[in-house]
Amino acid sequence: MMRYVPMMVTCKEAHGFLDDYLAGELPTKQRIVFDWHIKMCNCCKQYLDTYQQSIALCRDNFYDSEEDCEDIPEQIVQGIVAAKRTGGD
Amino acid sequence: MDGWRQNAYAEVDESELVRKIVEGDEAGFEYLVRRFGGRMLAVARRITGNEADAQDCLQEALLKSYSNIGQFQGRSGLNTWLHRIVVNVSLMRLRSQKRAREDSLDPLLPDFDGHGMRVGDAPIAGVEEIEEMYEQGRTRAAVRAAIERLPNDYRAIVIARDIEQLNTSETAQLLGISTSLVKTRLHRARAALKRLLDPVEI
Ligand SMILES: [Zn+2]
């Protein structure tokens, strides 16, 4: 729909800007082009939204501060202390 | 070590504990292992995906922290410092182990037509399981299953960049690859994760 107009990029080209855009590292001119594309193109707008959501989802759900707060088995403690004694200094 | 003697360390603040360990206080090191080891083991397990590697990484990380404890500045807490070390060791481990079978990411990447326009995604195998976990409210399991599907090299980059929030050059340095490779792989990995975690077609 917008591919022959100057200052416009295709979805594929806009897609290539995604990560720099999210990192705030897209040069001004490209950012304007990207913003414009996102405003006009529902597919890419939706893609950008879910792309961001999935990054946040990974960040927030990979660890689990409650579940990951376990006691260390005694034999592992002893193994490490022994390894330090023999290997270390 | 006697329980009461180990408990005595709980009263000691972190810089004091570090000082004791630097001076060669064995019980102090043992306390550090006990106090922080469980959490570090859980982190190593999340990253490497298996218990044996996780235990190896924990040991390596703790021995490394023992050798380097003199460099602990106290600017961040001991917990954060140790976390960073076990993450580094585990990511290196993840990178070095090639899995027997690694699925290509290509089927998970978005498609464009000859004019560079987006086209709908073709169905992919295995997404239903992740979708089901989602529907059952098991978001963490869904996220971990999606990340687990990435080849190790890509998984290491997603963990470094998006979970540990290292920047591109820190990640490149840690994994011993170029910044441009970090960027292209991160992009492919994010696109694949987006696809796996967002079963709704565009
Ligand atoms: Zn578009």
Report residue A5's pLDDT band, with 50, 70 and 90 as the boundaries. Answer: very low
Q: Please check whether the domain covering B3-97 is classified as CATH 3.90.550.10.
A: no
Has residue A6 been placed in a domain? Answer: no
Q: Please return the burial class of B145, using the count of CB atoms within 10 Å of its CB with bins 0-12, 13-18 and 19+.
A: middle
Task: Count CB neighbours of A77 within 10 A.
Answer: 19
pLDDT of B198 reads: 80
What are the start-end ranges of the H helices in chain B?
3-8, 14-22, 26-48, 51-68, 78-96, 127-135, 139-148, 152-158, 168-175, 179-197
pLDDT of A18 reads: 95
- The percent of residues above 70 in pLDDT, for chain A, comes to 91
Q: Which of A20, A72, A85, A89 best probes binding to B when mutated, by most B CB atoms within 10 angstroms?
A: A72
Question: Which phi-psi region, left, alpha or beta, contains residue B2 (left: φ > 0; alpha: ψ -120 to 50)?
Answer: beta
d(CA B42, CA B2) in angstroms, rounded, equals 26
d(CA A48, CA B101) in angstroms, rounded, equals 31
Has residue A3 been placed in a domain? Answer: no
The count of domains in chain A is 1
Would you say residue B168 has pLDDT above 80?
yes
Has residue A29 been placed in a domain? Answer: yes
Count chain A–chain B contacts defined by CB atoms under 8 A.
Answer: 133
Averaged pLDDT of chain B: 89
Would you say residue B16 has pLDDT above 60?
yes
Has residue A4 been placed in a domain? Answer: no
Report residue A3's pLDDT band, with 50, 70 and 90 as the boundaries. Answer: very low
Has residue A2 been placed in a domain? Answer: no
Domain positions in chain B are 3-97, 102-197
Would you say residue A54 has pLDDT above 90?
yes
Nearest CA in chain B to A21: B187
Has residue A69 been placed in a domain? Answer: yes
d(CA B65, CA A36) in angstroms, rounded, equals 49
Has residue A21 been placed in a domain? Answer: yes
- Tell me the residue range of the domain where A78 lies: 11-86
What would the CATH number be for the domain defined by B102-197? 1.10.10.10
Average pLDDT over residues A66-85: 90
Q: Do B29 and A81 make contact, defined as CB atoms within 8 angstroms?
A: yes
ipTM topping 0.95: no
Q: The tokens of A86 are what?
A: 């023999």
Would you say residue B108 has pLDDT above 50?
yes
Residues B89/B60, Cβ–Cβ less than 8 Å: yes
CA distances from B100 to B1, B57, B151, B152, B180 (A): 43, 21, 11, 11, 27
* Tens of pLDDT, residues B29-67: 999 999 999 999 999 999 999 999 999 999 999 999 999
DSSP state, residue A67: T
pLDDT of B101 reads: 65
pLDDT of B201 reads: 40
pLDDT of B35 reads: 94
Nearest CA in chain A to B30: A81
Average pLDDT over residues B151-171: 95
Whether the CB of A12 is below 8 Å from some CB of chain B: the reply is: yes
Average pLDDT over residues A23-49: 94
Task: Give, in degrees to the nearest 5, the angle at Cα B107 between B99 and B166.
Answer: 60
A71/B155: higher pLDDT? B155
